[in-house]
Amino acid sequence: MGTVIVDGIEVAIGDDEHLNGIEVARRAGIEIPHYCWHAGLSVVASCRMCLVESGTRNPDTGEITVVPKLVPACQTPAKDNTVFVTNSDRVKHSRAFVEEALLMDHPIDCPICDKAGECHLQDYFFEHGQAQRRADIRPFTSKKRDVGPTVTLFADRCVMCTRCVRFTREITGTSELMVIDRGSHDEIDVFPGHPLDNRMSGNVVDLCPVGALGDKDFLYEQRVWFMEKHDGVCTGCSTGCSISVEENQDTVYRLKPRENPRINQWWMCDEGRYGYHHVHSTKRLVGAVRRDASGATAIEWEQVFSELPARLQGAGPLAAVISPHLTVEEAYLLATYIRQIDPAARLVVGPVPVEGTDETFPNGFTIRAEKCPNRRGVEEIVKHFGCESEVYEAVQSDVAAGLIGGVWVSGGYKTDTFDAAAAQALSSGKLLVVQDLFASPVTEVADYQLPGPAFPEREGSYVNCADRLQSVPWAIRSPAGVRTDGSVLWRLLGRAGLYRSRTVLDEIAATIPYFALAAGPVSPQGVALSETTPATTTT
């Protein structure tokens, strides 16, 4: 254990900790401004925004020796008895000069820049810049340049921090970005004929501390201060990256990675980042439909709640196909409901979409081939109800063979999962109930077609491929006419009050040993269910 002194505040550091001045100052509640340093990238100490005074305290005499020059806090290790001064006049002047120099070359086009509201140049200028400008502003023209399918570069907004360059070298290993014309005319660019086109390219936009790199998907769609940010889990694959869902008035505008050292660090892949547009598709199912001999009729949810239990009871042996897109809580409620009607009902994990093979990048980040967020969670729920080895295909053939009379199929898939053959098999029983996002051959033949929620509309927990459970709130309300699987099942089970996933998770944690560690508060980093002690605590 060592002690570092930051602006007179003593900060304890562990023997195995390797912190720099910026990180140790944060522990003391002090933010040192910085552009080029990022915890996930190598240190270049080029922007000079983090310059501080530094020295060493003699542990015996208490005397402090200060290095005569300012040092970059990002590159200065915090060791026992290291002293940092972050608020002296010398430090303040240095920051103001750095800001002044940057603004000589940077257009003040904040009114049109996508980064306005979260730009470090703006924020640092107000906090650390000169009170008055000492140079004339020359007219700028924003040089917009295409650098790849997802990202646009506004070259004159760049502060040459090289975070984006280091990302493509160190994290993806693709090295598309580089610095050209080094010297007073240096710029970021791509190698000719090699656009920024890799499966994690969108991360450079998050890394850029200013508005130099713009996300084509988000460009000019929304000002950041209009949006609300909600914790989420990416449902694009079984890595289950921690994300933020950013929305305004129930419209999702972008997904961003949420830092989680246990899963995705600071990153997410493009597939997940841009994989939300189906949420607002005009093709979403938005009303309950009952189908009988006289055809399909739109019905109110109240009718569903009043007639469905009797129809299920009269349908004979039951089965539930539990989608790996459902949350743990929804899967548990569906299994509980179907078993309440038929104690011997078959429960199976729904189709698990697999595309290609896992892709692992040099830093270890992996995009999984398994394109669903909660196979593990649903498997464990099904196992708890004694149906461990059941497979979805068996239910299909058993319905066709007349061994199962009624089936509840849950969905939530973005892409076509159920084909005409599945529809033919599943509809040959007495009753087929399907709750899904989009019409499919199976919804077309369902006796009850129930509109289902998209992932930002669900609250609850997902267990990723490494047995880490994350719990997230809903981010947007479903379109009118849609109810979440959780709220529908809560109602069908006759439980009092509104559906709250936490109440159900408490029940699950108390009932199913695999989920026992989710009994307490679930940290934003999630809980490792397969370990004997919780890996994280509430932060």
Under rule CB under 6 A, residue 47 binds ligand FES:
yes
Q: Which of 354, 362, 324 is nearest to 174 (CA)?
A: 362
Among 234, 387, 434, 518, binds ligand SF4 (CB under 6 A): 234
Cα 417 to Cα 436: distance, rounded to the nearest angstrom: 11
* Nearer Cβ to ligand SF4 (234/321): 234
Contact letters (x/-) for ligand FES, 55-74, by CB under 6 A?
-----------------x-x
Among 160, 338, 407, 517, binds ligand SF4 (CB under 6 A): 160
What is the H or E stretch that residue 126 is in?
A: helix 120-128
Under rule CB under 6 A, residue 372 binds ligand SF4:
no
Contact yes or no for 50/33 (Cβ under 8 A): yes
Q: Which one of ligand FES, ligand SF4, none interacts with residue 288, CB within 5 to 8 A by kind?
A: none
Cα 328 to Cα 305: distance, rounded to the nearest angstrom: 22
* Nearer Cβ to ligand SF4 (158/308): 158
32-40, 236-244, 447-455, 491-499 -> range binding ligand FES (CB under 6 A): 32-40
What is the amino acid identity at position 505? L
Instruction: Give the distance from CA 120 to its chain's centroid.
Output: 22
Beta bridge partners of 370: 354
Contact yes or no for 247/475 (Cβ under 8 A): yes
Closest distance between ligand SF4 and the C-beta of residue 152, in Å? Answer: 11
Under rule CB under 6 A, residue 188 binds ligand SF4:
yes
What is the amino acid identity at position 392? Y
Under rule CB under 6 A, residue 36 binds ligand FES:
yes
Beta bridge partners of 433: 408, 448
Q: Which one of ligand FES, ligand SF4, none interacts with residue 160, CB within 5 to 8 A by kind?
A: ligand SF4
* Nearer Cβ to ligand FES (35/408): 35
Under rule CB under 6 A, residue 34 binds ligand FES:
yes
Question: Using CA of residue 533, residue 536, residue 537, residue 538, what is the dihedral sign?
Answer: negative
136-144, 222-230, 267-275, 441-449 -> range binding ligand SF4 (CB under 6 A): 267-275
Under rule CB under 6 A, residue 98 binds ligand SF4:
no
Cα 92 to Cα 240: distance, rounded to the nearest angstrom: 42
Under rule CB under 6 A, residue 147 binds ligand SF4:
no
What is the amino acid identity at position 480? A
What is the amino acid identity at position 50? C
Under rule CB under 6 A, residue 367 binds ligand SF4:
yes
44-52, 110-118, 457-465, 524-532 -> range binding ligand FES (CB under 6 A): 44-52
Q: Which of 244, 241, 271 is nearest to 255 (CA)?
A: 244
The stretches of 342-450 forming alpha helices (DSSP H) are: 375-384, 392-400, 420-426, 441-445
Q: Which one of ligand FES, ligand SF4, none interacts with residue 272, CB within 5 to 8 A by kind?
A: ligand SF4
* Nearer Cβ to ligand FES (46/175): 46
Under rule CB under 6 A, residue 205 binds ligand SF4:
no
CA atoms within 13 A on the CB side of 175: 3
42-50, 179-187, 200-208, 303-311 -> range binding ligand FES (CB under 6 A): 42-50
- Here the tokens at position 440 are 């499919």
What is the H or E stretch that residue 337 is in?
A: helix 328-341
- Residues contributing to the site for ligand FES (CB under 6 A): 34-37, 45-50, 72, 74
